[in-house]
Amino acid sequence: MEKLQKQGYSAFLNQYFKENAELFSDLSKRQKPHTMMITCSDSRINPALLLNAKPGELFITRNIGNVVPPYLPAKGSTQAAIEYAVNVLNIPKIVILGHSNCGACAHMYHQPKNNELSLPHVENWLQYIVPAKSAAMLEVHANHNKNIFELTEKHNVISSLQRLMEYPYIQNRLVDNKISLEGWWYDIGSGKVEIYNFDKRDFESVI
């Protein structure tokens, strides 16, 4: 923590902040992000770094497993963030960013042991990933060579996209072509990003 406070902040203030003083002056008055990123709380995921984005470009919300919950008014912070991003900031694009080695998805296959630490809030939240687990298991049953964890991570992105399309104000914008939705999967080890192709119903490499 001391390193972050003294070295990290000092480097930011004396280098990056000074070099981008005009940008931060503008940002102090308003924000106009072009993309909302819904991603995981995992410390290894940094959307701004991944996209080489400047402050003010991305509106980011995080939760365990990059999940979009069902549309339920005033239910939680993720729904509130989506509502604000779309209805107040008028963000034209939302990206669900999943990733490899996702602990939330892997936990779906975890067998609890006696005297194991109880995580009731985590277990409750992870119920949103159950449909992704079911879809992944069906796919592995058809092709045993596929990685069930990667499949679960990708189906989890798809499930979140499907739920996002159930939000009434997003449905309206989709009909009017005022918003676009994308699903991404990021491989931490290789840096590779794959994007869900709605027509082919599969993930494809960006590059």
Q: Write the pLDDT tens digit of every residue in 138-163.
A: 999 888 788 999 999 999 999 999 99
Binning pLDDT at 50, 70 and 90, where does residue 1 land? low
Domains of the chain: 1-30 (no CATH), 31-205 (3.40.1050.10)
Whole-model pTM: value is 0.93
> Which segments within the chain are labelled E, that is strand?
35-40, 58-63, 93-99, 180-186, 193-197, 202-205
Residue 34: Cβ within 10 Å count: 13
Are residues 66 and 38 in contact, defined by beta-carbon separation less than 8 angstroms?
yes
Q: How does pLDDT run across 179-205, given as a tens digit for each residue?
A: 999 999 999 999 999 999 999 999 999
Q: Euclidean distance between the first and final Cα of the chain, in Å?
A: 37
Average pLDDT over residues 65-93: 94
